[in-house]
Structure 1
Amino acid sequence: MPEKRLSLVIATYNRGAKLCTTLDSLLVQTLPQEQWEVVVVNNNSTDDTAARFADYVAAHPQLDARMVLETEQGVSAARNRGIAESRGEYIVVIDDDERVVPEFLERYYSLFESHPEVGAAGGRILPGFESVPPRWMSKYTERTIAGTLDLGDRMREFPEGKFFGGGNHGYRRAVVGRYGGYDTSLGRTGGVLLAGEEKEFYGRLRAGGERIVYLPDAVIYHLVEPERLTRGYFVKLCRNIGRSERRRTRTASRTAFAGRLAAEAVKWAGASVLALGFLLQGTPAKGGYLLIMRWQITAGLLGA
């Protein structure tokens, strides 16, 4: 097989239709096709994902894409399998419910080609709502639901307290050789909404001295279904964010967990002020859901 400089890894689980939407956005990439490949990792899907993918690649032979199976359940295990199966010197990771802009892969490729000092990067994540967002949504709750990440229009190193999103980041293969892959105890597993795998991975790279930059023009739109905009889903999501943070920091050290608890106290102070502001602006539902978010994350963090 010809050498590929860049490999795009997509883990998928029971999202056959969404996966095809993601693949559609890859057909118009500005990076020449001979430079990149797509590795889709089927993480035990029980729907028609495999059949849809087979039909898709048969209809679009110009797309260098293949599917592999990972039987260990979990997005982290699936991504690790994708890395192992890929051929590129540069690895870019997205999710199976996204649309990427035409310049997406070219931006990552150009960055790694022209900046040898950069070990990893993360791009802009914007919401792609499939229905009208509820009135209770603010930019703070949107960030939790859609994973929104927008640090402006210029490339720069990630500031303290920020990290790349799970559905839009990339790195050199050599980075994985130095630090290992994703922690399989973290990240979504089937229908369990755990998270934190990209944050833990980012932390290892940062602690190792890697230069990690924000890439504003590598934009993805995270497709958000109506069911993700319900109170029930929001509560479940936030509780599991707290559980993930508990697992991540307790695994690291007692000090890390204590620091996360202290940070949560600070977040509560900020959320309380913001909720009061929403109340005074006549939008109490936005403040109410901000407090629900904080309460559920705290409960998960404390082991509830």
Structure 2
Amino acid sequence: MTLTVLFASHNGAGTLPAMLQAFKSVIVPEACELQIIAVDNDSSDNTHALLQAASAELPLTVLQHRARGKNRALNAGLALARGELIVFTDDDVLPDPNWLVELHRSALAHTEFDIFGGHILPHWPSPPPRWVLEKTPLGVTFGLTDPQMPAGDVFPGLIWGANMMVRRTVFDAGMRFNEQIGPSAGQYVMGSETEFNLRAHAQGRRCWFEPRAAVQHIIRPKQLDPQWVIQRAYRFGRNAWNQQAGNGDGTPTFLGMPRWRFRSFIDHRLKALRLRGTDEAFVHEWELAFLRGFFAQWWQTRRADARAPAAGGSR
């Protein structure tokens, strides 16, 4: 069996050396051939040189893809993938030596499942501030899984791109990553793997979580800055609208937006003002940024839907 590991990197020189070094200790499952595909996604630093140097010691193929966007790069890399199992990760992870062994074992043991994920744990640059650990949603902010999540059938939105494996049959059936979302230039929409997994799940694909297949996510110092965290909240809000749109629960709405969201925004705004300068205020600032992203994606979607009939009529 061939096992393909695929990742994209845009200006990843800060974390790639540690990641590639860790890959040298990853155990290849018995009777498997390993193929690693790294897509240099329009980097302007020495990412390409680092990847090319690593190919002397790893079964690594380097592909250059100029069109910015992680999902565009991954779709391009899929064209080279030979594996029956395709493992996705990021350029800022440190895989456990048994990472691939455990993913492979799960695929053999759970043949009724098509998408697999494992733990994503933090690799902090230094002990994180108290406000990060106590006031920040660590999962959506840093892409970390719940350390208590057990093995088993799992909601597709809880398997994330830093540690995710997909059977080739899913891609042979025509599935690809949505190139309109995911890391790219500008204020992009988060949640590209979540969107992919939910779409695959709607087609009958099931997801399995394997806690013994673990990687560590390298948290960079800039990611401990409050403004960086707030930007993540905004991006997460945009993704949340995409996930929740059309899944109404019967609550009153205004132009498709649940009215309670507007009340929630006002409530968090007042509390943020009242608690200004305290750690508690950050909780409400995070919620405000999330809601701004939620509202922004709602409005953008409404404008696109309003233009669609006119565009269709002009053809």
Please report the TM-score for the alignment, with normalisation by the length of structure 1: 0.83
Paired residues of 2:9 and 2:91 also in contact (CA < 8 A): yes
Confirm or deny: 8 A CA contact 1:130 1:225 kept in the other structure.
yes
Q: Cα 1:301–1:166, aligned 2, differ >3 Å: closer, same or farther?
A: same
- 2:303 counterpart of 1:302: no
The answer to whether the 8 Å contact 1:264/1:298 transfers is no
Q: Aligned partners of 2:283 and 2:183: how far apart in 1?
A: 23
Distance 2:259 2:92 in 1: 31
Partner residue in 2 for 1:170 = 165
* Counterpart AA for 1:301: F
Aligned AA for 1:164? I
Task: Quote the residue 2:286 is aligned against.
Answer: 293
2:38 corresponds to: 40
The corresponding residue for 1:244 is 239
In the alignment, residue 22 of structure 2 is paired with which amino acid?
S
Give the aligned partner of residue 80 of structure 1: 75
**1:21 counterpart residue number:** 18
5 Å-filtered alignment, 1:226-265, equals 226-246=221-241, 248-249=242-243, 255-256=246-247, 265=261
SS at match of 1:87: coil
Deviation of 1:205 (Å): 1.6
1:194 aligns with 2:189: yes
Which 5+ residue runs of structure 1 have no aligned equivalent?
none
- Report matched runs for 1:23-172 at 5 Å: 23-32=20-29, 35-58=33-56, 60=57, 63-138=58-133, 140-150=136-146, 152=148, 154-159=150-155, 162-172=157-167
Q: Indicate the SS of the match to 1:92.
A: strand
Give the Cα separation in 2 of the matches to 1:121 and 1:18.
Answer: 25
| 1:5 aligns to 2:2 (yes or no) | yes
Cα pair distance change 1:249/1:118, threshold 3 Å: closer
Which amino acid in structure 2 is aligned with residue 296 of structure 1? Answer: A
**CA shift digits 1:121-172 (9 cap, x unpaired):** 111111111122122113543223211112636420114x842112111110
Alignment CA distance shift 1:221-1:97 (3 Å): same
What TM-score comes out, normalization by structure 2 length? 0.80
Question: Higher mean Cα deviation, 179-188 or 221-230?
Answer: 179-188
Relative to structure 1, is the Cα distance of residues 53 and 299 closer, same or farther in structure 2, using a 3 angstrom cutoff? same
Per-residue deviation, residues 243-301 of structure 1 (Å, max 9, x unmatched): 2333x348xxx524889965985xx69x98xx9xxx9xxxx51x332222211011111
Alpha carbons of 1:148 and 1:263: their partners in 2 closer, same or farther (altered >3 Å)?
farther
Structure 1 pair 191–128 and aligned structure 2 pair: CA distance change class (3 A)? farther
Rounded Cα–Cα distance in structure 1 between residues aligned with 2:190 and 2:239: 6
Residues 181 and 188, structure 2, Cα contact 8 Å, conserved in 1: no
CA distance in 1, matches of 2:65, 2:113: 30
Please, which moves more after superposition, 132-141 or 70-79?
Answer: 132-141
Q: In terms of Rg, which structure is larger?
A: 2
User: Judging changes above 3 Å, is the alpha-carbon distance between structure 1 residues 126 and 151 closer, same or farther for their aligned structure 2 residues?
Assistant: closer
Aligned length in residues:
283
TM-superposed deviation, 1:240: 1.8
AA aligned opposite 1:290: V
Given that residues 182 and 201 in structure 1 are in contact (C-alpha distance below 8 angstroms), is that contact kept between their aligned partners in structure 2? yes
How big is each residue's C-alpha offset from its partner over 1:212-271, in whole Å with a ceiling of 9 and x where there is no partner? 11110111110011111112211222112222333x348xxx524889965985xx69x9
